[in-house]
Amino acid sequence: MIKRTLFFGNPAYLSTKNEQLVVNFPEEDKREATIPIEDLGYVVLEDPQITITNGLLRKLVQNKTAVITCDSQHLPCSLLQPLVGHTEQTERIRHQLNASQPLKKNLWQQTIEAKIHNQANHLLRREKNALKLKRWAKEVKSGDTGNHEAIAAAYYFQNLFDAIEGFSRNQKGVPPNNLLNYGYAVLRAVTARALISSGMLPTVGIYHRNKYNPFCLADDIMEAYRPYVDAMVYEISETEPEIDELNQNIKAQLLTIPAMDVFIDGKWSPLMIAMSRTTSSLYDCFLGSSRKILYPEFE
């Protein structure tokens, strides 16, 4: 089932009644609105004057709904998820923590191969040269010791946004870096939610290990999905007259990322469902019942 994403960019009072999320607005001309909690996958809270009851938070967490709050720059900055995401969580975390270094290096190799393949296919969709990316994807070694991920990323972004003068991928760089930042933050939340639902810790990565990063594994697993965000940002940058600021229309488009169609294991699936299949396959690798992570193929 595809879960809905709700975005609140104005003052609102959020509560619950009869297993529904109840929305009341300060403006007298706006009627009360209700949404079934079971339908929700993500709730994004942007306006600082939003009030939400503890009862609603509890029900959202029990439904495994990711509650995302935004900072003063309107970017997602925190994620609320349940302490217990799976009935076998203790055992699954044990297998995750006991994963050998050779296994982690192999999983990272698979991840980077899939990422570069998807980057190449995205460039081909835009009728741009992807021969180097296709070659580099085949040259990735265990642990990506040749740092092909960084080499490919530099080439990919230079060619993808070649029409934008001075563009390079940098969080504080020229637009559409701002759109990429927002889209990747949404993707990160989708990945963390799926990892927790699969009974794993999003903190302990297979490659990323920055001690200040609480989402190392999420940052690992989302890599192969990044080109889907890039594709949406590319479309927005081609159609929107102004992308210097993240307006409501642009954010509304980026918040549809969880529902994007991706091609995985021979069939089309919403990205949020595909991500759950990816994290489930990751656990199978930690368990030892499989050696392959299931990633989508950019079409």
Q: Is 38 annotated as a binding residue?
A: no
Long-range CB contacts for residues 206-214, cutoff 8 Å, separation at least 24:
206/99, 206/104, 206/107, 206/108, 206/111, 207/104, 207/108, 207/111, 207/143, 207/144
The full DSSP string for 208-277 is ---TT-TTHHHHHHTGGGHHHHHHHHHHHHHH-S--SS--HHHHHHHTTGGG-EEEETTEEEEHHHHHHH
CA distance 137 to 139: 6
Spatial contact of 96 and 218, defined as CB atoms under 8 Å apart: no
Residue 223 labeled ligand binder: yes
* 14, 53 Cβ separation under 8 angstroms: yes
| Rounded Cα–Cα distance for residues 149 and 100 (Å) | 22
Pairwise CA distance, residues 45 & 8, whole Å = 5
Instruction: List, as residue ranges, the binding site.
Output: 149, 208, 223
Annotated binding site for Mn(2+): 149, 208, 223
